[in-house]
Amino acid sequence: MLALLSTTAIAAIALAAPVSAQVTVLDPITIIATRTEEYATETLAPVSVIRGETLQQLNASRIGDVLFGVSGVSTAASAQEGSVSINIRGMQDWGRVNVVVDGVRQNYARIGHTSGAGSFFLDPELIGGVDIFRGPASNIYGSGAIGGVVQFRTKDVEDILAPGQLYGTTGTLALAGGSGLNTLASIFAASRVNPNVDFVIGGTYRENDPYKSGNGTLIRNSGQNSASFLTRTTFRPADGHSVKLTALLQENDWTSGPPVTGASGIIRGWGAFTSNVAANYRYSKPEDRLFDFSGTVYWNRTDVDSTTLAVNPGFTGFYGPVGNRANYLIDTIGFDASNTMRFDTGVLRHALTVGGDLFKDDVQNRDAAGFGAGYNPRGERQIFGGFAQLKTNYSTWLETITAIRYDNYSLNGNHYVTGAAISTEGDRFSPKFTLGITPVTGFTVYASYAEGYRAPAVTETIVAGQHPIPPFDFLPNPNLRPEVGKTSEIGFNIKRNDLFVANDGIRIKANYFENRVDDFIESVIIGFNPLGPCTNVVVFFCTQYQNIPRARITGFEFEMNYDRGDWFVGLAGHAIRGGDLTNGDPLNNIPPDMVALTVGTRALNQKLVIALRWAAYAAKKRIDLPRDDPSSPGDEWATAVTNSYNLVNLYAGYDINPGLTAFLNATNLLNEQYRQYNYEYAAAGTTIWAGIKYRFGGAQTASNNVQSMLDTQNNQTRNLRASANAANR
């Protein structure tokens, strides 16, 4: 249905007229660090931002491609599934990384291999921008984010219409070959109807065939189809007021499992339908220092169906017979609101931000004949919290940020096997403090301490049942305690313009952090014991989510960008270590060391852009993983070991005219055989994309001043405060 909707939208909208090309911006504005507008480079926090030109050069097929080379960030996924889980500083799954799409939390979780325990669906072609905050200092964006926050913004009017346009379309038509056949079609249309109304409508359609890895091995069932439909309308009922209504629908279809004779003994067909609906009210006027308000009400549903297509008879007790259907459904409803008040006390300038959020997860998983609902039990979780943050500036060289957050949660469900009621609850205050000093213009050092609080998920608390091969029992744990992350961090920012030649610029952010996590939740192997809790004599062992009293993760992150117009270069990397302080074991989700280099040029009056991206990843050796547990058969971590590898991607785009760009994009240019850590299968070999990106629309006429009016509003509400903050550092 959704594929038909997207195809209809693509066929229905066609407008014409050329527009100007994009330009590189080294100083994007973000609010992710403090909920107040500031330049990303100047934030006193480990923030990374991905915007227009970079997104175009990445030409991402999956979310993991969007996050290529971002320090401190990695992903986990299966080639046989359309979802992905984001890892920040070794923290992933179960909401440790708060993933937000257009203000909507993505809380889908399903126990599975690699990407299941905290993943989400999003086509990269929909993305207009990404903001990433690493560490629990991001707790003003909601409970649970002891790893960080990733905010995805889908395309809005400014991503589709160029300055001077009142209406237009943009999109991509592309075809890929090499490791496998892939196709992509997208179209987005926008209109500034009048000074008070604008809208966006569009969609994507993508088909990926099963691919071959670098050595030519076919990765079975790695193909998938996806489609999406996006609509957004913005109303401005009065000066400074705006109401934004957004709806995003996505459909993903794929098949999982090796041949029926394979180890898992099952092939399943999958279909996922994701709905995001959000209403945001925003009030902001530069002259109003008492009110700078934003509030969002949202609903997210992730509805995933699986159908057994083939099954080894010995596995029917776990997966059901051929034709059995299982459903994994989560509804999340919530709201998020905050207001910033600005005032002065003598020589000190203050911004006091107060806010709160609430969301409820309703998990309704069903499996008619198999045991899928045992691995992923039904239940409800409700979390609410509030925060207050005071940002204070003195002169141009001193800034402090002090914040406190309160979280409260409750969780309810039933034991899948016995039916016994299980419930848990808790609350906590989490502080934050940051000090930044700018001794000379363009150089800032900062230190921060922040705490975060993550309540256990429904599955972690209530999971029960037997795993097929090897046979072991999942045990629920109603006594599971929330995690508390405590991060200390030091870092510096460098921002210099006109460094070597006129109009060039360099931006550097680097930091070292230590995150101590109390009651870290990890899956633990328990040997058979007739006295409990692992009392099933038939199984080899049991597994249960338990609290590790103390864990520690430390690391160094670095990113640099230099741009002089005709060429540019970027460098980023991280080295992260993490371990269980009670037994000395490494933590299993710590990403391998990484360094990434980007070099590019803009030639022929910037009509031709060429960018080469290279990332080197260290090996994940057996010594880097937890020790083998003698209670389980074999070495349960042996298959997680990965070799070091180099990933090289090349992009070339040429502006045929102001509204049409032809591009070639080669991924894994060296055709390297490799598997990313926390990925289930080897990655694709060399894949070459060829396509066009188009932008057509109608220009502003002399009698219609809508665009200039909107530009004035945007300059005031989006740039003025950031510029003022920068000038006052």
- pLDDT (tens digit, 9 = 90+) per residue, 594-618? 999 999 999 999 899 999 999 999 9
Whether the CB-CB separation of 706 and 192 falls below 8 Å is answered with yes
**Dihedral sign of CA atoms 665, 671, 674, 680 in order:** positive
Contact (Cβ atoms closer than 8 angstroms) between residue 39 and residue 186: no
CA 613 from centroid of its chain's CA atoms: 21
Six-digit token pair at 40?
Answer: 């990303």
pLDDT at 389: 95
pLDDT of residue 163: 79
Position 721 pLDDT exceeds 70: no
Give the pair of three-digit tokens for residue 284: 């902001």
SS3 for 214? coil
Which band of pLDDT confidence, cut at 50, 70 and 90, is reported for residue 692? very high
Average pLDDT, the chain: 87
Higher model confidence: residue 478 or residue 398? 398
For 346-398, write each residue's pLDDT tens digit.
Answer: 999 999 999 999 999 998 888 887 777 677 788 899 999 999 999 999 999 99
Topology of domain 2-727, per CATH?
A: Maltoporin; Chain A (2.40.170)
Q: How far is CA 445 from the centre of its chain?
A: 27
Q: What percent of the chain lies above the pLDDT cut of 90? A: 62
- Say what the pLDDT of residue 281 is: 98
For 253-307, how does the pLDDT look when each residue is reduced to its tens digit (9 = 90+)? 999 887 544 455 788 899 999 999 999 999 999 999 999 999 999 999 999 999 9
Is pLDDT above 90 for 727? no
Residue 700 has pLDDT above 80, yes or no: no
- Return d(Cα 302, Cα 276) in angstroms, integer: 9
Residue 187 pLDDT exceeds 60: yes
Residue with tokens 């910037």: 606
User: pLDDT > 70: what percent of the chain?
Assistant: 90
- Residue 314: pLDDT band (50, 70, 90) is confident
Quick check: 535 pLDDT over 90?
A: no
Q: Is the pLDDT of residue 658 over 50?
A: yes
> By C-alpha distance, which of 216, 195, 69, 57 is closest to 132?
69
Residue 442 to residues 42, 44, 45, 367, 680, Cα–Cα distance (Å): 9, 13, 16, 58, 44
pTM: 0.90
Give the pLDDT of residue 148.
Answer: 93
The pLDDT assigned to 313 comes to 78
Q: Is the confidence at residue 342, as pLDDT, over 50?
A: yes
pLDDT in tens, 124-166: 999 999 999 998 866 677 788 899 999 999 999 999 998 778 9
Q: For 625, what's the count of Cα atoms within 13 Å in the CB-facing half-sphere?
A: 16
Residue-level pLDDT at 139: 66
Hey, which residues does 279 pair with through a beta bridge? 245, 297
Q: Where are the domains of the chain?
A: 2-727
- 302-315 burial by CB neighbour count: b if 16+ within 10 A, else e? bbbbbbbeebbeeb
Taking the C-alpha atoms of residue 283 and residue 291, their distance in angstroms, rounded to an integer, is 7
The residues, ordered by sequence, that sit 6+ positions from 472 with a Cβ below 8 Å of its Cβ are: 466, 539, 540, 541, 542, 543, 632
What is the average per-residue pLDDT within 442-461? Answer: 93
Q: How far apart are CA 440 and CA 8, in angstroms?
A: 57
Strands 148-154, 73-76: pairing kind: unpaired
Q: Between 192 and 368, where is the model more confident?
A: 192
Range scoring the smallest mean pLDDT among 55-69, 593-607, 624-638:
624-638
Residue 113 is predicted with a pLDDT of 59
Residue 164 confidence (pLDDT):
77
- Using the structure block, give the residue that is written with the tokens 């394979």: 262
